[in-house]
Amino acid sequence: MIEHLLTLLVVIPFLGLLPLAAFLRNPGAVKQVAVVTTFVELVVSLVMLSRFRVGEAGFQLRESAAWLPSLGIRYELAVDGLSVLLVVLTTLLTFISVLYSTKVIKERIGEYMAAFLVLEVGMVGVFMALDLFLFYVFFELMLVPMYLIIGIWGGPRRVYATLKFVLFTLAGSLLMLVGIVAVYLASGDAGSRTLSLPELVAARGRFSAEFQFWVFLAFALAFAIKMPMFPFHTWLPDAHVEAPTAGSIILAGILLKAGGYGFLRFGLPLFPYGTQAWLPVLIVLSIVAILYGAIVSTVQKDLKKLVAYSSVAHMGFVTLGTFVLNTQGAVGAVLQMVSHGVVTGALFLFVGIQYEKTHRRLIADLGGLANRWPLFTTFFGVFVLASLGLPGLNGFVGEFLVLVGTFRFNPPTGLGGLTWGPLAAIGVILAAIYLLWMFQRVMMGTLRDAYRSLPDLSPLEVVCAAPLLVLTVVMGVFPQPFIAIVEPSLQRIVALATDTTLAVIK
């Protein structure tokens, strides 16, 4: 059993579906099954983390078996420094989402929990799959449950939002599918073709520069839409505003990471020439996302939309750190993904808790909540400060490393880090403006009479938020253990992407 930890992570949520189906019409039992399943999954992922050997760059806990032998496609799972933290983040956020949902979801809870379990399979699978075909299957497996979660349990405009979400994502991923098949055909002669990442990296000399240009574009479109990068972000605010709280947590916390992860896992190592060719465009788009996301956040009236747009800005840091192509930037990008998952997940959780109590989400309708809710204010305040990148909290670590990497970015032609660095830094300042201003308008000032009798955080809500708070502080104060996990693998990926000795066929 212990040798197949990663398969276990894929299988546990599926196994949870069986008792869930048996008790489908019994809400109490359904909640217990879902909470227990996601908790076991979390524990197993922690066991997996404890067996992860820090300091090694390569893939660990690897499992490999023939899946489609006629095509040479394999069932191949592994983790490395890039993915291991994201897997644990996934299981943690899913557990918290399910736990919180037991209180707020009243309707069709059986189907709701089933969707979450299937979603969890897709999410952990995406971060562990080494075979591109398997990766694609998991990538798409995340789509349908989220489509249902937004579409069934979402807000008034849920159908529009969920269709938009699915169509945007599918448009990108289907082009990536064509790219994957193209990679498969180019990976060898008939009979020896493969989609396994290590073998593809070894065979990447067969990908001509022109081939890389187009196939990287196909992959980049899928990941850019998923992230989402400017100008493909328009589905995000709609999806977030309409999604139920737990859906927003998972969407912002995990699903967006699949894009940034895809760039680092597949885009950079497989297509160094494609990366070089598209690098200027992607860096400019990252800077635009950082500034645009921040400016648009400033003027939002809806609390949830504000957090959603702030995600666009934060994900801009991830792509910026990725495409400056140095270790600091890449490590910063990964840490930024992890801390954004924790912090923005928490922010959506608190916006949801707040909404459950007041039934208002417009900033103008709120105010003075700090007078009545000391506990809520403390938690929320810490997460807001972490989100704006205050040193000592986790948001700072990723953004700082990305900025260091950006300043060190020095391409032979075109604008370098001294142009992009200051622009990105402006984004950090803007983040402080919109987040603090929001906090001030929501929490300070005079309290409305209608909100006087509303209770502070319930024990369940504290239990949901506490692990995130601990992580926020620990990652901010002691970032070194996390950097140590991430760094070797990212060094390797950056080395693969910047290998000047790589010769490709014409």
Partner 1 sequence: MSDLVSVLPEIVVTLTALLVLVADTLVDRRRSAHVLAVLTVAGLVIALFSGPFAIAPGTHFSGFVLVDTFTTFFRAVFILLAVFATLVAPGYLDRKGVAPGEYYATICFSTVGAMTIALSTDLITLFVGIELMTIPIYVLAGMQRSDRYSNEAALKYFLLGAFSSALLLYGFVWLYGFSGATELSKIAKALASGGLTSGPAIIALTLVTVGLGFKAAVVPFHQWTPDAYDGAPTPATAFMSVAPKAAAFAAILRVLVTGLGPLGLDWTIVLAILAAVTMTGGNVVALAQSNVKRMLAYSSIAHTGYILAAVAAYRAGDSAGAAVLFYVLAYGLMNLGAFACLLYLDVEGTRGATLDELNGFAKREPGGALAFAIFLISLTGIPPTIGFVAKVLVIQPVLDAGLVWLAVVIALNAVVAAFYYLRVVVRLYMYDAEAGTPTLVPARLLSFTLGLSALAVVVIGVLPDGIYAWALQAAAPLTLR
Structure tokens at 252: 């912002």
Phi-psi map region of 105: left, alpha, beta (phi>0 left; psi -120 to 50 alpha) = beta
Q: Which of 126, 166, 225, 403 binds partner 1 (CB under 8 A)?
A: 166
Nearer to partner 1, 20 or 403 (CB): 20
Q: In terms of C-beta density within 10 A (0-12 exposed, 13-18 middle, 19 or more buried), how is residue 133 classed?
A: buried
Whether 241 and 302 have beta carbons less than 8 Å apart is answered as: yes
- Closest distance of CB 194 from partner 1, Å: 14
Owner of token pair 């060898």 = 188
Nearest approach, Cβ of residue 111 and partner 1 (Å): 8
**Three-state SS at 26:** coil
Whole-angstrom distance, CA of residue 76 vs CA of residue 197: 9
Residues of span 179-198 touching partner 1 by CB under 8 A: 181-182, 184-185, 190
Cis (ω within 30 of 0) for the bond into 231? yes
CA 30 to the chain's CA centroid? 27
Closest approach of Cβ 150 to partner 1, in Å? 9
Per CB under 8 A, does 288 bind partner 1?
no
- The stretch near partner 1 (CB under 8 A) out of 161-169, 235-243, 338-346, 449-457 is 161-169
Min. distance of Cβ 24 from partner 1 in angstroms? Answer: 8
- Identity of the residue, 133 or 379, whose beta carbon is nearer to partner 1 in the bound complex: 133
Give the binding range for partner 1 (CB under 8 A) out of 177-185, 253-261, 266-274, 377-385: 177-185
Does residue 170 bind partner 1 (CB under 8 A)? yes
Nearer to partner 1, 125 or 479 (CB): 125
Residue number with CB closer to partner 1 (23 or 67): 67
Q: Which residues contact 202 (CB under 8 A, 6 or more apart)?
A: none
* Pattern 136-155, partner 1, x by CB under 8 A: xx--xx-xx--xx--xx---
Residue of the chain from 11, 163, 425, 474 that contacts partner 1 (CB under 8 A): 163
From the list 42, 99, 113, 177, which residue makes contact with partner 1 (rule: CB under 8 A)? 177
The stretch among 176-184, 299-307, 316-324, 472-480 that binds partner 1 (CB under 8 A) is 176-184
Nearer to partner 1, 4 or 157 (CB): 157
Which of 289, 167, 266 lies closest to 219 in space, CA to CA?
A: 266
- Give every CB contact of residue 258 below 8 A, 6+ residues apart in sequence: 123, 126, 127, 139, 142, 223, 226
DSSP for residue 414: S
Element (H, E) at 6: helix 5-22
- Nearer CB in complex with partner 1: 46/68: 68
* Backbone angles phi and psi of 78, in degrees to 5: -165, 165
Q: Which is nearer to partner 1, 159 or 375 (CB)?
A: 159
CB contact at 8 A, 162 and 211 = no
Q: Which is nearer to partner 1, 118 or 254 (CB)?
A: 118
Does 40 participate in binding partner 1 (rule CB under 8 A)? no
Number of residues assigned to the chain: 506
Amino acid (one-letter) located at 102: T
Q: How far is the CB of 181 from partner 1 (least distance, A)?
A: 5
Output the smallest distance, CB 214 to partner 1, in A: 8
Given 159, 362, 466, 502, the residue binding partner 1 (CB under 8 A): 159
Distance between CA atoms of residues 467 and 383, nearest Å: 12
User: d(Cα 400, Cα 333) in Å, to the nearest integer?
Assistant: 10
Residues 6+ apart with CB under 8 A from 21: 114
**At its nearest, how many Å lie between partner 1 and the CB of residue 105?**
15
* CB 144, min distance to partner 1, A: 6
Q: How far is the CB of 357 from partner 1 (least distance, A)?
A: 27
Site for partner 1 in 114-133 (CB under 8 A): 133
SS3 annotation, 299-345 = CCCEHHHHHHHHHHHHHHHHHHHHHCCCHHHHHHHHHHHHHHHHHHH
Closest C-alpha among 352, 247, 363, 359 to residue 298: 363
State the chain's maximal CA–CA distance in angstroms: 74
Q: Which residues, 52 to 91, sit near partner 1 by CB under 8 A?
A: 67-71
* Residues that contact partner 1, how many (by CB under 8 A): 33
Nearer to partner 1, 87 or 148 (CB): 148
Cα end-to-end distance, the chain, whole Å = 47
- The HSE-up count of residue 318 (CA atoms within 13 Å, CB side) is 32
Single residue of 158, 265, 314, 340 touching partner 1 by CB under 8 A: 158
Can you tell me which residue has the tokens 């859906």? 247
CB of 140 to partner 1, least distance (A): 5
Least distance from partner 1 to the Cβ atom of residue 14, Å: 11
x/- track of binding to partner 1 for residues 322-361 (CB under 8 A):
----------------------------------------
Q: Which stretch binds partner 1 (CB under 8 A): 163-171, 316-324, 326-334, 390-398?
A: 163-171
Exactly one of 29, 49, 57, 174 binds partner 1 (CB under 8 A); that residue is 174
* 141 membership: H or E segment, kind and range: helix 132-141
Site residues for partner 1 per CB under 8 A: 67-71, 133, 136-137, 140-141, 143-144, 147-148, 151-152, 158-159, 162-163, 166-167, 170-171, 174-175, 177-178, 181-182, 184-185, 190
